[in-house]
Amino acid sequence: MKILVGLGNYGDEYAGTRHNVGRDFLFWFASKNNFSEFKNDAFLKALVSEGEYNNQKYVLVLPQTYMNLSGETVVNIFKKWSEVNHEDVVIIHDDIDINFGEIKMSTDKGHGGHNGIKSILNLTGQNLKRIRIGICPKAFFGGFKKPNKEQVANFVLKKFGLMERGEVENIYKKVVDKV
């Protein structure tokens, strides 16, 4: 069994925001692959969906905590499914240090200032596999336009721009290749 955890904030007002790209990906993935309807799991503090992809059982987990408390759900995954080892859990989240549309896999990296990852590291003590989805717009002359430190919270909670929204499904297809 593989477990995918999509980070984001719960609530309709956060759907489609940069910070919710991991969470929104799992909603999309579940709908495209006929997974079960997401159901509340009080122990995990999460919504959970199950299904098969490429002949492998997957559990999709969406923490129902705010981003900064994502570790509460992840630590409970290992309590609920004691047979699951750390290699079977993949965290999918936004990354402001990567250009919009780029995808990176990582393990054994720090939190990079991402509060959801910081919470997971603090509560599990584990560096889990991660799929990082770039959310930073590309600059006109290359590189990217990362907001300054004071603007980061507002930036990640904004919805993608109109042209970016048209690219989101293509980004999700790249993430599926990593899954």
Q: Cβ atoms within 10 A of the Cβ of 163, count?
A: 9
- Please report the pLDDT score of residue 142 as a whole number: 64
Tell me which residue has tokens 């993949």.
Answer: 90
Task: Check if the beta carbon of residue 121 is closer than 8 Å to that of residue 75.
Answer: no
- Please report the pLDDT score of residue 29 as a whole number: 97
Q: Where on the phi/psi map is residue 34: left (φ > 0), alpha (ψ -120 to 50), or beta?
A: left
Task: Check if the beta carbon of residue 20 is closer than 8 Å to that of residue 8.
Answer: yes
- Class of the CATH-defined domain 2-178: alpha beta
- Please report the pLDDT score of residue 164 as a whole number: 83
Cα–Cα distance, 57 to 50 (Å, whole number): 7
Task: Check if the beta carbon of residue 59 is closer than 8 Å to that of residue 50.
Answer: yes
- Please report the pLDDT score of residue 4 as a whole number: 97
- Please report the pLDDT score of residue 77 as a whole number: 96
* Chain Cα centroid distance, residue 163: 21
b/e per residue, 24-54, with b = 16+ CB within 10 A?
Answer: bbbbbbbeeeebeebeebeebbbbbbeeebe
Residue ranges of the chain whose pLDDT lies below 70:
111-112, 139-144, 146-150
Q: Which amino acid is at 116?
A: G
Cα–Cα distance, 163 to 67 (Å, whole number): 26
Sketch the domain layout of the chain as residue ranges: 2-178
Which pLDDT tens digit goes with each residue over 13-65?
Answer: 998 888 899 999 999 999 999 999 999 999 999 999 999 999 999 999 999 99
- Cite the active site residues: 19
